Amino acid sequence: MSIIEDIRNNVIQGRLDAEDEGFDEGWEDKPATMELVEQAIKEGGDIKKIVIEGLTAGMTEVGKRFESGTYLIPDMLASAEAVGAAMNILAPHLEKAGVESKGKFIIATVAGDLHDIGKNIVATMLKGAGLEVVDLGTDVKTETIVESVAQHKPMFLGLSALLTTTMREMETIIIKLNELSLRDDVKVLIGGAPTSEEFAKKIGADNFCADAFQAVAVVKEALGE
């Protein structure tokens, strides 16, 4: 079995490093996704093959198992985390190898809101799907978010809020993006318990995402996948 196949199989097993047991028996103490990617790089492995035939192929299989009900949400998140960590290791080598990010996604919890669990899950899933994620954190000022959009020129902007008192900041951000002629160049996704499809339409967002899986689906559709 080649190292690329090993990477793919370890993604499917949701193994980030050698300490992870994997979903099936017999994987304990074996090199996992991170160790294998580092080894492949040291051995001069083809970066494109590592990404496409190893990481992406692994996540594709994980997606199929999730859709069939074989895998549950924690299983899929474990695999996505492994891919995200591997992409961080590969980052310095991607441009030289001619491997382009599928797109840049800025994500943030709006000003006044400190909740980050949902945001973090979305960020992990998007990294696993091959997106370059810029996570601005929680309680992020409108000005900071708008400046980040101007600087990074992302394809997507994800805004999260868990409070009815803070979700209004989403509208303020969209208004500022319009004022600075930045709105037409970025797709705005919103999420969080108090938000809804109706609220998204009201404030001029492109999509309401009820969970991380819907966010990934929206992004993939926008990318034509």
Specify whether the CB–CB gap between 7 and 36 falls below 8 A: yes
CATH number, span 3-94: 1.10.1240.10
pLDDT of residue 176: 98
> What 3-state class would DSSP assign to 17?
coil
Q: How far is the C-alpha of 21 from the C-alpha of 14, rounded, in Å?
A: 9
- pTM (predicted TM-score): 0.76
Residue spans per domain, the chain: 3-94, 104-222
Specify whether the CB–CB gap between 137 and 116 falls below 8 A: yes
CATH of 104-222, one of 3.30.750.24, 3.40.250.10, 3.40.50.280, 3.30.479.30: 3.40.50.280
Q: Which backbone phi and psi does 119 adopt, to 5 degrees?
A: -60, -45
Distance of CA 141 to the CA centre of its chain: 22
pLDDT of residue 97: 73
Structure tokens that stand for 120 in this block: 């973090």
Q: How far is the C-alpha of 19 from the C-alpha of 32, rounded, in Å?
A: 8
- Asked whether the domain spanning 104-222 has the same topology as the one spanning 3-94, the reply is no
Distance of CA 179 to the CA centre of its chain: 28
pLDDT of residue 77: 87
pLDDT of residue 127: 85
Q: How far is the C-alpha of 59 from the C-alpha of 84, rounded, in Å?
A: 11
Q: Tell me which residue of 60, 46, 166, 27 sits closest to 98, measured CA to CA.
A: 46
Q: Give 10-51 pLDDT, tens digit per residue.
A: 999 999 999 999 999 899 889 999 999 999 999 999 998 998
pLDDT of residue 163: 94
pLDDT of residue 93: 84
